[in-house]
Amino acid sequence: MRRLHAYMHRYRWRYVFGLACLLVTASLAMLIPFLLKRAVEVIEHDRALSGLSFYVALIIGMAIVQGVARTFSRFVIFNIGRDIEYDLRNDLFRHLETLPQSFYQRSQTGDLMSRLVNDIGAVRMMIGPGILNFINTPIYYVYAVSIMVTISVPLTLLSLTAYPVVLWIVKRMSRQLMERTVKVQEGLAALSARAQENLAAMTVVKAYALEGAEIAHFERMNGEFQEQSLALARVRGFIVPVMKLVSSAGILVVLWFGGWQVIRGRIGIGDLVAFIAYLHLLAWPTMALGWMLSILQRGRASMKRLEHIFAADPGVAGPPADGEAPVERGELELENVRFAYPGIRKSAQVLDGVRLRVPAGATLAIVGRTGAGKTTLVQLIPRLFDPQSGIVRIDGRDVRSLSLATLRRSLGVVPQDPFLFSTTLRDNIAYGITGNGDADDRVRWAASVAGLGADLDVLPRGLETPVGERGITLSGGQKQRVTLARALAIDPKILIFDDALSSVDSETERCILRQLRESFPGRTRIVISHRLSTVRGADTIVVLDGGAIVESGTHEDLMRRGGVYAEMFEEQIVESELETL
């Protein structure tokens, strides 16, 4: 909870002001029963209307001032909760943006969304209404009990006899509330993750006609969540009636025993009325104990879940970019690089001793069968992962010595699975462009080079066309070309294509690659493609097998050797001929 204390410390003076308003509210609340006592005494002894009117007017005036002070206390403390919620959500999102790719590979998006929205909301309730009642309750008890003792010690002790039992119940229920609250929040996160995953994969669900199975699975998870919620509700539902019973029983006991004391002449009627009024002031804080406990426990559980994310190590880090020289040429070198994904045994190396050098402006093609390590290799260049050993260099500089901003702005990465934001074509292509400048010209130029010119002509709104969530309104080939245009628009020194044109036909792929060579002279290009026919013109082709480079050379060299590359090329020729039959 130290992190939360730091947030609260930022607003300590506002908390002080809110506390002052609470003290004013409580002080005025404690004066009203005393004035009520005096009014009763005026009725009992003086029977003067003027005196009664004075006390009534005074009570009304104090009630108004009390209402203003109470409003300010809630306004201040609730707003602190909103401000901390704002700060906490911003800081959490900022931290999420720094976490490595491996974190997202083992995390569910729905669970992260639940923490970003639901858990932070629960923390806000804890430090807003929860804190207010946590402070307000002891203030009322200290004030009221102190005054009640001055009226009648025996009556005070009798009215409070049940409170030790209340505290014992609260302590017992506290542990159950915490445990069941954690289960509810974890269940909600799992349910959110399942719903989000299912909606994102709706095309696959419908393609396999598994709507019924998915509905059944969701209903089962929803049923489990309902059971967890009901278990929590039972604990909450038990606490509030107990508090109300204690409060009501206390008033009945006071009415009986206090009435007896009035009859015996030990206290006056005004004293009894004031005493009951003070006891009534304690009724809401007593009943609110259960609600407050629930809010505090839920907030603690939520903050614990948030701390798990904050504790995640960003892993990949770099020096600051201030005054750093940019990448000028785009020469790439990998020296004895070894890599294995976390959690995989050492013998299962994804990359094992990879060595290669790509001169600036050259085209390197990386080929190999599925699982050979091609995608992993290119992910090491922008430092989505760092190798366990070996060095990746750009222009002779270890990529770990470059700031992440300098490194990644020198790279144009076109991933295998295209991702588009649910904005317009223009916004997606211009995503990586910094500054205003000639952004519009660069967007149009990048779209043309990526082969989107004909598509823009037929789209009714051209570059202003909304693409929908994840680009759902576009075909697979169009989405890949938009992601290509996005990479080209930042004018990178090194272009990386991770099988990025697999959804376009081979002729279109060759045309785009040819246009890239003509439009991007001097730029280094790294191409992963399963279509070997499209990489024939590469300056160097390397063949990965089992995480190691087993062959390297031009297309002609590799065909003459008759090795893995030649075998794969012949297989694709046969497959192509069979498709034409």
274 occurs within a structural domain: yes
Instruction: State whether 519 and 476 are in the same domain.
Output: no
Where do the H-state alpha helices sit in 42-130? 49-98, 101-105, 109-114, 120-125
Q: Last residue of a domain, which of 310, 333, 365?
A: 310
Instruction: State whether 387 and 465 are in the same domain.
Output: no
Q: What is the largest CA-CA distance in the chain?
A: 121
Instruction: State whether 393 and 259 are in the same domain.
Output: no
Question: How far is the C-alpha of 367 from the C-alpha of 550, rounded, in Å?
Answer: 11
Helix 506-519 × helix 476-489 angle, to 10° = 10
Token couple for 3: 């992190």
Instruction: State whether 138 and 263 are in the same domain.
Output: yes
Query: Considering only CA atoms, which of 314, 315, 303 is closest in space to residue 3?
Result: 303
Question: How far is the C-alpha of 51 from the C-alpha of 193, rounded, in Å?
Answer: 67
The percent of residues above 70 in pLDDT, for the chain, comes to: 91
Instruction: State whether 191 and 267 are in the same domain.
Output: yes
163 occurs within a structural domain: yes
315 occurs within a structural domain: no
Domain CATH code at residue 237: 1.20.1560.10
Instruction: State whether 512 and 436 are in the same domain.
Output: no
- Mention every residue, 6+ apart, whose C-beta is less than 8 A from residue 366: 374, 377, 378, 526, 527, 528, 541, 542, 544
Q: Domain containing 109: what range?
A: 2-310
- pLDDT surpassing 80 at residue 105: no
**Stretch 156-169: mean pLDDT, rounded?**
77
pLDDT band at 256 (very low <50, low <70, confident <90, very high): confident
Q: Which of 110-114, 313-317, 328-332 has the lowest mean pLDDT?
A: 313-317
207 occurs within a structural domain: yes
Where do the H-state alpha helices sit in 380-475? 404-409, 425-429, 439-449, 453-458
- Mention every residue, 6+ apart, whose C-beta is less than 8 A from residue 135: 19, 22
Q: Tell me if residue 319 falls in helix, strand or coil.
A: coil
For residue range 8-23, list pLDDT tens digits in order.
889 889 989 989 998 9
pLDDT of residue 17: 92
Question: How far is the C-alpha of 62 from the C-alpha of 284, rounded, in Å?
Answer: 20
Instruction: State whether 105 and 232 are in the same domain.
Output: yes
pLDDT band at 520 (very low <50, low <70, confident <90, very high): confident
Q: pTM to 2 decimals?
A: 0.74
DSSP string, 145-187: HHHHHHH-HHHHHHHTTTHHHHHHHHHHHHHHHHHHHHHHHHH
- pLDDT surpassing 60 at residue 580: no
Domain CATH code at residue 470: 3.40.50.300
User: Residue 334's beta-bridge partner residues?
Assistant: 356, 392
Token couple for 382: 């922008």
118 occurs within a structural domain: yes
Q: What is the DSSP letter of 466?
A: B
317 occurs within a structural domain: no
Residue with tokens 């075909």: 475
For residue range 190-242, list pLDDT tens digits in order.
887 788 778 766 766 776 677 788 888 888 888 888 888 888 888 777 776 77
Distances in whole angstroms, Cα of residue 429 to Cα of each of 392, 441, 490: 28, 11, 9
pLDDT of residue 343: 63
The helices-and-strands tally (H runs, E runs) of the chain is 22, 10
Instruction: State whether 401 and 422 are in the same domain.
Output: no
Question: How far is the C-alpha of 77 from the C-alpha of 99, rounded, in Å?
Answer: 33
Question: How far is the C-alpha of 355 from the C-alpha of 390, rounded, in Å?
Answer: 9
Instruction: State whether 56 and 182 are in the same domain.
Output: yes
319 occurs within a structural domain: no
pLDDT band at 346 (very low <50, low <70, confident <90, very high): low
Q: According to the per-residue pLDDT averaged within each range, which of 44-58, 159-173, 468-482 is highest?
A: 468-482
pLDDT of residue 208: 66
**Stretch 48-54: mean pLDDT, rounded?**
73
Q: Which of 136-145, 185-194, 271-280, 482-491 has the lowest mean pLDDT?
A: 185-194
For residue range 57-100, list pLDDT tens digits in order.
888 988 899 889 989 988 998 899 899 989 999 999 888 888 87
Instruction: State whether 219 and 364 are in the same domain.
Output: no
pLDDT of residue 433: 81
Instruction: State whether 461 and 539 are in the same domain.
Output: no
Domain count, the chain: 3
Instruction: State whether 509 and 401 are in the same domain.
Output: yes
pLDDT of residue 391: 92
Q: Last residue of a domain, which of 459, 491, 523?
A: 491
More confident residue, 580 or 480: 480
The percent of residues above 90 in pLDDT, for the chain, comes to: 4
157 occurs within a structural domain: yes
**Stretch 397-406: mean pLDDT, rounded?**
86
- Dihedral-angle region of residue 343 (phi above 0 means left; psi in -120 to 50 means alpha; beta otherwise): left
- pLDDT surpassing 80 at residue 317: no
- pLDDT surpassing 70 at residue 344: no
More confident residue, 166 or 268: 268
Mean pLDDT over all residues of the chain?
82
Q: Last residue of a domain, which of 310, 340, 358?
A: 310
- pLDDT surpassing 70 at residue 252: yes
Where do the H-state alpha helices sit in 459-499? 476-489
**Stretch 130-149: mean pLDDT, rounded?**
87
Question: How far is the C-alpha of 157 from the C-alpha of 372, rounded, in Å?
Answer: 79
Q: Which of 136-145, 311-320, 419-428, 550-559 has the lowest mean pLDDT?
A: 311-320
